[in-house]
C-alpha cells in the first residue's frame, strides 16, 4: 500500500511486530458495512459508476460470506483486516476495487469500524444485562418470604428480605444498562470522511454515508475524529464498573454459599469439586467473576495510559486499543451469561436465613425508634439501647427474654407495648418508607421490575 515511496521490502520481523489482523479480523463485518456505505458515497459524488459500485458491493458481500463460513485466509503480510479485505476485493473485481479507498484513510476507516463494533456489542451487553436482571427478579420471587440479616461492616445490622438484597443488584445493573446506552449515544457519530487527519479535496456527502450506517451524525473536527478513543475508554469504564458490581455480588454469593452462612445453595451445574477433598462444592463461577473484574479494571487502565501521552492525530499506538477492548467485551458478555444461569439455579435456605435474622440484636435500632416515638431524643435513645445491649450480652439473654422492669432500668419511657416491636414480622412490616424492605414494598418493586423488563 506504500510501495511507491519505499524501495525496500518491510522486514519480516516488523511485519510480525506490527500486524493486527490476528485480532482485528473480528471487525470484518463492520469494515465491509463501512466500505459499502463509502462506495455509495463515491457513487453519489461521481467517483464510481453504478456498475463499479455494484461490483464492489457484491464482491464485499461475497467476502463477508466466506469469512463467516471460515473459508477466508487472512494474511499477516497485509497487516490488518482492512487491507486483507481490500486486497482480496481488488484481486477479484479489478480496477473498481482499487478505487474504493478514494477519499478515505485507514485512520478514519478503523475509527469508523471500531465505533460500529462498539455500538453493536453495547446492544448485546445490554441484552445480557437485562437477562441477568430478570434472573435476579425470578430468584427473588422464589424467595420472596425469606428473611435475612442485612449487614454493615460484614456485621449483622437490621433484618431485611432476601428479595430486597437481590433487588439492590437489579438497581446496580440498571445503572450499568443506562451508562451503556449513554455511551452508545456519544459514540454514534461517524468519523469516516476525516481522511488521515485533514479530510480530502474530494468531497463526499458525509451525512448521506452516515445515514447508510445508522449514525446519528458526523464528527465536526477531522483531527479529533481520527484520534478520538474517548468512546473506547468510556465503554471500558462502564464495563469495568459492571464487573465491579458482579464482583460485589460474587462476594455475597461466596459468603452465602459457605457452611458458616448456608443462606443459599448453588446448583451442581454451576459449582465444582476438589481434586483432593471429596466433600467440597466450590462457588467457582462467583470466584472467577470476582477475579475477572480485575482484568476489566486493568484493561481500562491500559487504555487510559495509552491515550495520556499521544499528540494529535493518529499514532500507531492506537492499534493497542483493540485487544483490551475485545477482551473486556468478551469477558463481561460471558460473565453475564454464566451468572444469569447460576442465579436461575440458586435457591435460598429459608431456615438458615431466618435463624440468622432471629438474632435479637438486629432489632436494637427498632428499640431506639420505639424510644424516639415515646419522646426520647434519638442520641439519648441510642445511648440507652447501647447500654441495654451490653446488659443483654452480660446476662446472656435476648431482648425478648427480659421483663419490662429490666427495660425500665434503662429508661422509664419503656412501656408494656415494647414487646410488640421485638417481633421480626412487625419490624419488617414497619419498614414501609420508599426504598425500605417491607414485604409490601418488596412485592411492589418486584412487580415494577417485572413489568419494566417485559416492556
**Among all residues, which ones are annotated catalytic?**
153, 274
**Please, is 410 exposed, middle or buried when counting C-beta atoms within 10 Å of its C-beta (0-12, 13-18, 19+)?**
middle
- Please tell me the number of Cα atoms within 13 Å of 302 on its side-chain side: 21
Three-state secondary structure call for residue 159: strand
Torsion of Cα atoms, 176 then 178 then 182 then 188, to 10°? 90
> HSE (CB half, 13 Å, CA atoms) of 287?
11
For residues 234 and 220, give the distance between their C-alpha atoms in angstroms, rounded to a whole number: 20
393 contacts 186 by C-beta, under 8 angstroms: no
CB atoms under 10 Å from CB of 448, counted, come to 12
Percent of the chain that is helix, strand, coil (3-state, to 5): 70, 5, 25
Instruction: List helix spans (H) across 257-345.
Output: 284-307, 322-344
Going by C-alpha positions, the residue among 243, 372, 223, 370 that lies closest to residue 298 is 243
**In 3D, which of 337, 324, 310, 332 has the Cα closest to residue 114?**
324
**Cβ neighbour number for residue 380 with a 10 Å cutoff:** 14
| C-beta neighbour count of 407 within 10 angstroms | 23
The helix/strand/coil state of 204 is coil
Cis geometry, peptide bond prior to residue 330 (ω within 30 degrees of 0): no
Euclidean distance between CA atoms 127 and 133, whole angstroms: 10
Ordered alpha helix ranges (H), 396-438: 404-408, 424-429
Could you tell me if 161 and 148 are in contact, meaning their C-beta atoms sit under 8 angstroms apart? Answer: yes
Amino acid at each position: 500500500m506504500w510501495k511507491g515511496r519505499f524501495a525496500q521490502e518491510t522486514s519480516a520481523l516488523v511485519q510480525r511486530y506490527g500486524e493486527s489482523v490476528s485480532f482485528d479480523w473480528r471487525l470484518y463485518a463492520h469494515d465491509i458495512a463501512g466500505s459499502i456505505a463509502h462506495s455509495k458515497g463515491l457513487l453519489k459524488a461521481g467517483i464510481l459508476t453504478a456498475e463499479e459500485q455494484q461490483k464492489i458491493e457484491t464482491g464485499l458481500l461475497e467476502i463477508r460470506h466466506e469469512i463467516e463460513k471460515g473459508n477466508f485466509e487472512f494474511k499477516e503480510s497485509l497487516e490488518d483486516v482492512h487491507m486483507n479485505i481490500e486486497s482480496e476485493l481488488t484481486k477479484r473485481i479489478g480496477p473498481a476495487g482499487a478505487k474504493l479507498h478514494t477519499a478515505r484513510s485507514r485512520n478514519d476507516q478503523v475509527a469508523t469500524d471500531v465505533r460500529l463494533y462498539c455500538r453493536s456489542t453495547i446492544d448485546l451487553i445490554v441484552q445480557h444485562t437485562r437477562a441477568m436482571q430478570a434472573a435476579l427478579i425470578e430468584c427473588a420471587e422464589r424467595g420472596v418470604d425469606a428473611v435475612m440479616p442485612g449487614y454493615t461492616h460484614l456485621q449483622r445490622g437490621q433484618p431485611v428480605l432476601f428479595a430486597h438484597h437481590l433487588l439492590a443488584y437489579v438497581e446496580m445493573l440498571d445503572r450499568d444498562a443506562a451508562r451503556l446506552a449513554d455511551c452508545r449515544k456519544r459514540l454514534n457519530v461517524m468519523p469516516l470522511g476525516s481522511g488521515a487527519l485533514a479530510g480530502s479535496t474530494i468531497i463526499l456527502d458525509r451525512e448521506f454515508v452516515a445515514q447508510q450506517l445508522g449514525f446519528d451524525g458526523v464528527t465536526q473536527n477531522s483531527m479529533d475524529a481520527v484520534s478520538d478513543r474517548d468512546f473506547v475508554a468510556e465503554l471500558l469504564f462502564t464495563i469495568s464498573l459492571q464487573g465491579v458490581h458482579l464482583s460485589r455480588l460474587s462476594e455475597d454469593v461466596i459468603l452465602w454459599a459457605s457452611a458458616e452462612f448456608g443462606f443459599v445453595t448453588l446448583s451442581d451445574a454451576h459449582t465444582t469439586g476438589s481434586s483432593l477433598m471429596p466433600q467440597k462444592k466450590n462457588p467457582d463461577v462467583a470466584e472467577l467473576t470476582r477475579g475477572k473484574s480485575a482484568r476489566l479494571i486493568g484493561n481500562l487502565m491500559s487504555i487510559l495510559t495509552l491515550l495520556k501521552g499521544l499528540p494529535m492525530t493518529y499514532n500507531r499506538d492506537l492499534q493497542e486499543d483493540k485487544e483490551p477492548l475485545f477482551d473486556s467485551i468478551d469477558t463481561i458478555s460471558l460473565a453475564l451469561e454464566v451468572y444469569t444461569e447460576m442465579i436461575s439455579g440458586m435457591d435460598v435456605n429459608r431456615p438458615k436465613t431466618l435463624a440468622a435474622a432471629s438474632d435479637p440484636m438486629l432489632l436494637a435500632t427498632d428499640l431506639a425508634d420505639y424510644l424516639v416515638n415515646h419522646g426520647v431524643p434519638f442520641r439519648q435513645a441510642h445511648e440507652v439501647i447501647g447500654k441495654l445491649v451490653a446488659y443483654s450480652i452480660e446476662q446472656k439473654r435476648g431482648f425478648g427474654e427480659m421483663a419490662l422492669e429490666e427495660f425500665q432500668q434503662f429508661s422509664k419511657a419503656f412501656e408494656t407495648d415494647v414487646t410488640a416491636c421485638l417481633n421480626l414480622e412487625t419490624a419488617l412490616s414497619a419498614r414501609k418508607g420508599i426504598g425500605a424492605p417491607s414485604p409490601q414494598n418488596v412485592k411492589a418493586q418486584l412487580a415494577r421490575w417485572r413489568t419494566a423488563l417485559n416492556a
